[in-house]
Chains A and B, each alone.
Chain A
Amino acid sequence: EAQVTQNPRYLITVTGKKLTVTCSQNMNHEYMSWYRQDPGLGLRQIYYSMNVEVTDKGDVPEGYKVSRKEKRNFPLILESPSPNQTSLYFCASSFPGDTQYFGPGTRLTVL
């Protein structure tokens, strides 16, 4: 089944404790992206990747890191999480210019 998976689905952590949210797709998509969704602010793009070893900033990259060492995986790293990073995070993938497929989301709470 074609899908985008994210782990964990739910995470509660404390300020400053490094964490990684994994994202994996099985559709051989070149393009992958991370978004955060906040009430009243909608979906905002954090980082995206056009292919292996090619990443670039979206609209809200501060406080986040990404890497793309393999085509299927695109982890999101929060090296020192803060409460303002409490949000619902989505990973997505696609062929360039084609339909984006979204993962189920990761709900992160930073205390």
Chain B
Amino acid sequence: KQEVTQIPAALSVPEGENLVLNCSFTDSAIYNLQWFRQDPGKGLTSLLLIQSSQREQTSGRLNASLDKSSGRSTLYIAASQPGDSATYLCAAPNDYKLSFGAGTTVTVRA
């Protein structure tokens, strides 16, 4: 069974600071890893999908890296803004199932 862990559970930073969110997974035989954003009471929005053949993926201020051998992925958010305040979840597959981490709740202070 794929176990996904996210550290830290919560993070509070001043506006403009760079964010580093960590995700670790136990089964390295993954074909991709996804990062999502969830606002309170809302659904999940996909941020980045990294295929197993890729080392990183970028979208605007977001950059996600993947190291399968060590079972780790990191999401970097550059120059954080108050609108980045949300919970960020990573998800790793195990065959056709998908396991989620508990998330990192980010607060960006203006």
Using a CB–CB cutoff of 8 Å, the interface residues on chain A facing chain B are 31, 33, 35, 42-45, 48, 50, 56, 58-59, 90, 92, 96-105
CB distance from B35 to the nearest CB of A (A): 10
Using a CB–CB cutoff of 8 Å, the interface residues on chain B facing chain A are 1, 31-32, 34, 36, 41-46, 49, 51, 89, 91, 93, 96-103
Q: Once the chains are docked, how many angstroms separate the CA of A96 from the CA of B96? A: 8
Q: Once the chains are docked, how many angstroms separate the CA of A59 from the CA of B62? A: 30
Q: Once the chains are docked, how many angstroms separate the CA of A105 from the CA of B32? A: 24
Residue of A nearest to B51 (CB): A97
Q: Which residues of B contact A92 (CB under 8 A)?
A: 44
Question: A105 near B43 (CB under 8 angstroms)?
Answer: yes
Question: A99 near B46 (CB under 8 angstroms)?
Answer: yes
Question: A45 near B43 (CB under 8 angstroms)?
Answer: no
What are 10 A-B interface contacts by the 8 Å CB criterion?
Answer: A43-B44, A43-B100, A48-B96, A97-B32, A99-B46, A100-B34, A100-B91, A101-B46, A104-B43, A105-B43
